[in-house]
Chains A and B, each alone.
Chain A
Amino acid sequence: MNRFALTVSHGIARVTEAARGPYQAAMIRIGFSATWLLFLLREFPHRLELYGPDSPWNWNLAEQLIATNGAFTALMWSDGRFWFETVYVLAVLSSFLLLLGWRTRAMSVLFMVGVLSLQNRSIFMGDGGDNVLHLMCIYLVFTRCGQVWSLDERRARRTEEARARGEHVVDRVGPLLWTVLGLGLVTVTFLGRLDGDWPIPVLLWIVWLAQALWWAVGRFTRSGQSRIMLDVIANIVHNGALFVIMAEACLIYATAGWYKIQGSRWQDGTAVYYPLHLDSFSPWPALADLLSANGVMVMLVTYGTVAVQVAFPFTLFNRRVKNVLLAAMITEHAVIAVVLGLPFFSLAMITADSVFLPTSFLRRLGDGAARARGRLRARFAGGGGGGGKGAELPGQRAEETKGGRGPDASRNPGDPENPEHTHVGSTA
């Protein structure tokens, strides 16, 4: 009994004290927003045919269907071309800003609105990749996915530094953004455009009110208590959402795997051959023929696919096995991207997988990316005539490693945009 109580209190401490998996959360934020952003850019020439008011699935057809299911889509608020273009551009913009982690929470809401608006407008255009994004964009709203690798992180750091220097920092953009979005929300609510199914409109209102509460508590309350409570609640919600995202990924694999077991083609070991020979999914027929030339290979891949999908959820209990399977699945999806011509589906699935990647790996990934960025900047600055700046960088890096704080220290290596920062860091 005592041990049980200990475990419970341990568990409670873990879900309340921090928003777990900051790197994993940032990874899926970046992954899903990048997938959607690239998709929108790729489909830009086809946007009218896919989601436009006069698309084959035109506004009237969509209206009749949505009247029956109440799905959320801002595109039904008007059948005008201008409104459509506005929504499309906002969807592009919000996914880009979410990718950068600028005002992450607000952007995650706009990102969700963009994904749902376009997808629910033309539900017969999508495939599995769209389905993954559809679910994940909702879950993402509940996470604190901008803790690392984001502009928000940098802003928080700078604010803290400024406060440490005794400066008075006031955030004007946040309240402004909140006001603008709030005006929009109030308007559409009173115009009766949110009369469909209730969960999404309610979610929009809750997030908006919560943001106000968060700001007000930070501003007006004297004791830190309510602030801490809100922080803890945000952690709890984040951890719950991250858990749902993981469970969702497991359900995807479990469903895909268990249903395959029942199929005769998956049993006789030829299943993988067939999709490779469907006209819509064989962009590289010669490659498909090559891959499916050997019966034993096809059988091994067929059986391997089922085994990995079925096994994956269970391997979460063993880190090493989980990582091996993760690598296998990510590889398989990368192959699918090219061989079956499903790049966006694959990118979405790889992103979903990446919520299970180990933190150490993600950190190394982040460091690598930051170093590459630093080098790029240095070269750019050097080539562009700002030679001095370029020459500074290696020195900064050396200093950091001398500091001996290991990989963590280079998380924001020598941020060339903010030379001040390194000063502060080295004198502190």
Chain B
Amino acid sequence: MDVYDGGSNARRAPDEPGEPGDAPAPDDAPAPDESAAPDDEPTAPREPAASGEPLPDPYPDPRTGVAALSLRYQVGVALALAIVAVGVCVHIGMVFLHVAPQNTLTKAYGRGVDDWVFPEFEQNWKLFAPNPLQQNIAVQVRARVRTADGGSRTTGWYDLSAQDGRSVDGNLLPSHTQQNELRRSWDLFVATHDADNRPVGLRGSLSETYLRRILVLRLERSEAAGPGDVLVSVQARSRTTNVPPPKWSTDKVSEQPVYRELPWWAVTADDTERNAR
């Protein structure tokens, strides 16, 4: 049972709070890492036995290969072996510390771990963990439109997440544009804004532009503005509803949706003109 969001490259701060328990366990996890390299494939070389054919000797004459080399070259091999062994151990150790909960080591050497892991080895495997998401968060949008005759009107709410949900229905190959784009942009917005919708840091302001551009794109696709009309501003809100607990469960959750409404944002020319169609 894995993922929907796992990858979340959303480079958030190492997530630690809100984790019930202190997860003593993951410390045991890297057991295989520690073992010396030769143990790495318990499967591969030994398997041919099962096929009943004459075994290609898993340990062919050791006199070939390294043993065939003169001392000078053997030193070269030894050096390479040492470098690779150290590199492999350090890398696995760093990645382990990156995915492990905050602990004595990461408190002391967190910077070093981050330097090693970011940006290319970032990962997040808390797939549906510690708890799966139990709410449907629908992103909705409406717009103020200046009509061709100079008047102005406000559209109704467009439920973009519902549109995405419908396009995923019965779809064997959902697109990232239907499954991730809006959902993750909203997550990013929420993660980079305070309760008063004020942006926090660079990511905050980037995420605002990003979300606005998605909203404009989607409104244009829905033809919210008729021919000759101009999008002046947009407003988004989220509608969060609890997934009703299963029938057999005795849990009770509120069925009332909770709304979070963002301020009106002015639409720029860049949002409308230079935006993927």
Which residues of A line the B interface, CB within 8 A? 10-17, 20-21, 23-24, 42-43, 46, 48-50, 52, 54-58, 61, 64-65, 68-72, 116, 119-120, 123-132, 134-135, 138, 197, 199-200, 225-226, 228-229, 232-233, 236-237, 239-240, 242-244, 246-248, 250-252, 254-256, 258-266, 270-275, 277-285, 292, 295, 298, 301-302, 305, 310, 313-314, 316-317, 319, 322, 332-333, 336, 338, 340-343, 345, 349, 356-361, 363-364, 405-408
**Which stretch from B18-26, B102-110, B224-232, B257-265 is at the chain A interface?**
B18-26
Say yes or no: A56 contacts B213, CB within 8 Å: yes
A225 touching B69 in the complex, CB below 8 Å, given contacts A247-B33, A271-B128, A277-B243: yes
* Nearest CB in chain B: distance from A63 CB, A: 10
Say yes or no: B44 contacts A285, CB within 8 Å: no
* Nearest CB in chain B: distance from A147 CB, A: 12
Chain B's closest residue to A120 (CB) is B119
Is B200 at the interface (CB under 8 A from chain A)?
no
Interface of B is mostly: loop
Chain B's closest residue to A271 (CB) is B132
Q: List 5 A-B contacts (CB under 8 A).
A: A10-B38, A17-B62, A46-B177, A263-B129, A275-B4
B175 to chain A: which residues have CB within 8 Å?
42-43, 46
Is B123 at the interface (CB under 8 A from chain A)?
yes
A242 to chain B: which residues have CB within 8 Å?
40-41
A229 to chain B: which residues have CB within 8 Å?
69, 73, 76-77
* Interface size counted on chain B using CB atoms at 8 A: 125
What separation, in Å, do the CA atoms of A130 and B184 have in the docked complex? Answer: 14
What separation, in Å, do the CA atoms of A160 and B182 have in the docked complex? Answer: 55
What separation, in Å, do the CA atoms of A46 and B176 have in the docked complex? Answer: 9
B121 to chain A: which residues have CB within 8 Å?
135, 138
Interface of A is mostly: helix
Q: Of the candidates B3, B60, B81, B161, which one forms a contact with A127 in the assembled complex, judged by CB atoms under 8 Å apart?
A: B3
Q: Which of B3, B87, B136, B217 has the largest count of A CB atoms less than 10 A from its CB?
A: B3
Say yes or no: B29 contacts A236, CB within 8 Å: no
Say yes or no: A16 contacts B3, CB within 8 Å: no
A124 touching B125 in the complex, CB below 8 Å, given contacts A12-B81, A54-B275, A239-B40: no
Say yes or no: B134 contacts A265, CB within 8 Å: yes
| CB 8 Å contact bits of B41-61 with A (1 = contact, 0 = none) | 111111111111110000110
B134 to chain A: which residues have CB within 8 Å?
265, 274
Say yes or no: A124 contacts B185, CB within 8 Å: yes
Say yes or no: B50 contacts A65, CB within 8 Å: no
What separation, in Å, do the CA atoms of A15 and B69 have in the docked complex? Answer: 16
Chain A's closest residue to B88 (CB) is A240
